[in-house]
């Protein structure tokens, strides 16, 4: 399978990164860590938000780039891809059996 052109890869990286941020609501989560009695609560909120944004950016970038490398490796090695897919299927079937036996 051919590797997509660089512009397509860059667009997919930005689309993945932006899509992950839509899933997270910073306003409701960070609000609980800001003390309203502090003289400058907006400053606390901005600092916490900046740290959260930086950590999320680094984490999501690492996830996206490692996922790209893994996808390329699986494209090159079809047997490895089939084995990993089968192993994941066996794990899910094992979990289903465990769940069934636990609820019986």
Distance CA 68, CA 14 (A): 13
**Mean pLDDT along residues 42-65:** 86
CA atoms within 13 A on the CB side of 14: 5
Instruction: Work out the pLDDT band at 49, boundaries 50, 70, 90.
Output: confident
* Whether residue 56 has pLDDT greater than 90: no
Return the domain boundaries, the chain.
Answer: 6-77
**What's the pLDDT at 14?**
65
Quote the percentage of the chain above a pLDDT of 90.
26
* Whether residue 100 has pLDDT greater than 80: yes
Q: Taking the alpha carbons of 35, 39, 40, 44 in that order, is the dihedral positive or negative?
A: negative
Instruction: Work out the pLDDT band at 16, boundaries 50, 70, 90.
Output: low
Q: What mean pLDDT is reported for the chain?
A: 81
Those residues whose C-beta lies under 8 Å from the C-beta of residue 7, and which sit 6 or more positions away, are: none
Residue 48, judged by CB atoms within 10 A of its CB (0-12, 13-18, 19+), counts as middle
């Amino acid at each position: 399978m051919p590797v997509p052109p660089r512009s397509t890869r860059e667009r997919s990286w930005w689309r993945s990164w932006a899509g992950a941020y839509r899933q997270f609501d910073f306003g409701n989560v960070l609000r609980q860590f800001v003390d309203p009695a502090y003289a400058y609560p907006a400053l606390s909120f901005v600092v916490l938000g900046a740290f959260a944004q930086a950590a999320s950016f680094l984490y999501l970038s690492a996830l996206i780039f490692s996922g790209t490398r893994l996808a390329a490796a699986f494209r090159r090695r079809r047997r490895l891809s089939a084995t990993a897919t089968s192993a994941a299927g066996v794990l899910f079937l094992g979990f289903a059996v465990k769940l069934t036996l636990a609820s019986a």
